[in-house]
Amino acid sequence: MLQLKRERKIKPYKKRKRAKENKIKLYKRRKKAKEENFFNNQPQLISLLAPEVIQEKKDYIYMGDDKYARIFTLMFYPNYIGIGWLDDILNTIGDVDISTQVQVSDERNVIKYLTHKVTKLQSDYLLFEKQGNIEELHRLEENIQAFEEMRRNIQINNDKLFFIKITLRVNAKSLEELNEKSKLLRDEFANKSCEVRPLYFKQLDALKETLPLNNNIISDNNRNMTTAGLAAMFPIARTKSSVKDGIYLGRDLFTGLPMNLETFTDGLANANIAIFGVPGAGKSVTVKTIIGRTALINRRSSILDIEGEYVAQTEKLGGRIIKIRQAIPVGINLFDIDIDEDNGFIDIDSKITEIRAIMNGIINKYENRTLKPNEIADIEQAVREVYREKEITKDKNSIYEKQGGKHEGIITFGNIKKKMPTLTVVLE
């Protein structure tokens, strides 16, 4: 009887506890369902990458809205490649996506394979040498030396071996354009002693490999390559130059596209440039080219020429040479004024503003203050009076004293410029 009573007392308590636990579980399910619905409404990466429709054909894919694509794989590689060897493909064909998949190989297996390869080549070399077949000996010697050097570099951790697969997707707006681009792609790789082939009946899997999702679905057509070869696999060139103004500097070494230099364009922090190179690389030629071509667009250059290398070019461009030597007073005249080439007159107001700014900098340097309003007015009035005494006005001919003649012992046929006032005259 005592046991029955205890059971009757415990049973209602267990039911209440289970009912409470069920309520908590139900609450958690409702709360969890709300969170899942909220995150499911967020756009996923795959929805941004996926095309509108995918229709796979034997050797191409239709992706809707006049979008056609054909995926190729690089079957045969050249023996020697250089940096930027894939840039011609981008520049010639245009809309091409290149996917390079890289896998690091196991060093122990690589060394074992290279040792076996060297042993086999040495055996072939001895066999051909014994048979008197000297035609293949030179090629075998080169291969033995190359494989031994590769094995040595991998053993001392100076190099690594990679497995590389290159997939190319040619995009076009019509099937005819796709066929033309595909033929052009084959011809470009044929010129490089390579061969590309479309992935027949594997276009959809190949499309997934060209997406930036690190998919490796098709495991064929891998090629082993060292670190130097891997570096040459990545395209480094641009299909077009981002600078359209400025001066023509030359052509891109890899793409052959014209390159312009504009140091005052928007987006640059400043207009400074630096030119580096080994002796004889053409640093001075590049600087002289920049100076000469910037002069054609009415930009002046100031050159600190210690070796006197730019004297001849400065004279040919009609520039002024200021020789600075010890114990010889020399300087730049702040009041030297010239014709404004853009407006065709003498801009005295701009010259006054320039002199006032220089004077303000001098006062700030030595007296740690700026010009006072009355000092600014005095400077402007003094500068105008000095130019007025020299009869220099806005007329472009007012800075010349006569039309040709003898000047400082030299006969000239051009206009002879007036002697400009100096800062000493203003201070007096």
Q: For the residues of 182-211, what is the DSSP string, one character each?
A: HHHHHHHHHHTT-EEEE-TT-HHHHHHHHS
Tokens of 186: 């084959």
Position with higher pLDDT, 19 vs 129: 129
Four-CA torsion 177, 179, 180, 184, nearest 10 degrees = 130
Q: Which amino acid is at 335?
A: F
pLDDT at 188: 87
Q: What share of the chain is helix, strand, coil (3-state, %, to 5)?
A: 45, 15, 40
Indicate if the pLDDT at residue 354 is higher than 60. yes
Tokens of 156: 């001392």
Indicate if the pLDDT at residue 10 is higher than 60. no
pLDDT at 216: 78
pLDDT at 6: 46
Residue 383 in 3-state DSSP?
A: helix
Q: Which tens digits make up the pLDDT trace of 302-349?
A: 888 888 888 888 888 878 787 776 666 666 777 788 777 677 788 888
* Separation of alpha carbons 236 and 253, rounded Å: 11
pLDDT at 7: 46
Task: Kindly state the average pLDDT of the residues 264-274.
Answer: 80
pLDDT at 1: 41
Q: Which tens digits make up the pLDDT trace of 60-104?
A: 999 888 889 999 998 888 877 777 788 777 777 878 888 888 888
Tokens of 5: 């009573």
Q: For residue 233, with 0-12 CB atoms within 10 Å meaning exposed, 13-18 middle and 19 or more buried, which class applies?
A: buried
* Separation of alpha carbons 140 and 147, rounded Å: 11
Indicate if the pLDDT at residue 15 is higher than 50. yes
Tokens of 94: 């245009």
- Is residue 334 within 8 Å of residue 355, measured between CB atoms? yes
pTM of the predicted model as reported, rounded to 2 decimal places: 0.48
Residue 261: phi and psi, rounded to 5, are -120, 120
pLDDT at 72: 93
